[in-house]
Amino acid sequence: MKTYCVTGGAGFIGSHLCEQLLAQGHRVINIDNFNDVYDYKTKIRNILSSTGLVFPFLYSGDKDGDLAKLQAVVESDYYRLVVADIRNMDELDALFASERIDAVIHLAAMAGVRPSIEDPLLYEDVNVKGTLHILEAMRKHGVRKWLCASSSSVYGNNKKVPFSEEDVVDFSISPYAATKKACEVLGHTFYHLHHIDTIMLRFFTVYGERQRPDLAIHKFVRMLDEGEELTMYGDGSTRRDYTYIGDITAGILGALSYVEQKDNLYEVVNLGTNRTIMLRDLITSLEQEFGTKARIRTLPNQPGDVEQTYADVSKANQLFGYQPQTDFAEGIHKFVTWYRGNRHG
């Protein structure tokens, strides 16, 4: 049994990763600050699901009180929930001093391109300063293995496809993308100076069960289910490399095994599917799932949104055998099935 620290472990990707690590018999320390980007109750449900404790939870409406109850419910020899902010160095110091951590999987961040344009200082504070604090805590307490979530957003409006890790990523078009590029640079700095073996994982548009309610697929599904008009930005021709959560989790675990086996390692790796789906085709797929025709309101393209994402995943395959298994139609069906079973939860 190893002890892994997962930052943002109550979120969409993080909760799935925690679930898989626990299933493999490891101990998980989940650091999450339960910010107000979306209802804290969603994250509580994520934790209960990922730890296998799926049962009615009576919310008091008092966030601190509910989180205290949650900690009491899930605390065990295998799982520790730490409600903390990665910007608080004292909290991180205390945690790392109290645990023997084998590796860190750093997923916590302020996510989203459009909100980052509205509040770039917050994104810099959480994503860059917070990441630096994680690296400092690792340096001080002798943790030398980590994975860090980057993003396909760092490629900007790259004209060459598919996107390769060798491509120049100096032309971000959103503060969110810029912070993720900064994290990659910080990772290399601590690898160079302090011998922290590192893999930066560039995720490509992850979707699936427990997806954040503010993301496109989840929003479209809810709107279709409730008979609302869908809002589509642009003419529907933008393309994304949609990657199912099960494939992303498998990729993270593969990368974790790889970084643990290697010394003197710094790599940047794409995790996607090597295929793209147009926005209008996404909507068509959802219409077929619901057996209904969507009413669509078209608005101009949003600042900061890229025209397409498209991952070359050959490096991930070469390094640790990454090979996505879920085609888009299957992944959409799984998500809609999950949504229907949880919409009143």
How does strand 296-299 pair with strand 243-244?
unpaired
Average pLDDT over residues 16-38: 95
The pair of three-digit structure tokens given for residue 77, joined into one six-digit string: 């020899």
pLDDT at 256: 98
Active site residues: 176
The pair of three-digit structure tokens given for residue 41, joined into one six-digit string: 């109750």
Amino acid at 55: F
pLDDT at 344 > cutoff 70? no
pLDDT in tens, 139-160: 999 999 999 999 999 999 999 9
The pair of three-digit structure tokens given for residue 211, joined into one six-digit string: 């997806």
User: Could you tell me the domains of the chain?
Assistant: 3-206+243-274+310-325 (3.40.50.720)
Write down the pTM of the prediction.
Answer: 0.96
Average pLDDT, the chain: 94
Among candidate residues 258, 231, 246, the one with its CA nearest the CA of residue 320: 258
* Phi/psi-derived region of residue 52, left when phi > 0, alpha when psi is between -120 and 50, beta in every other case: left
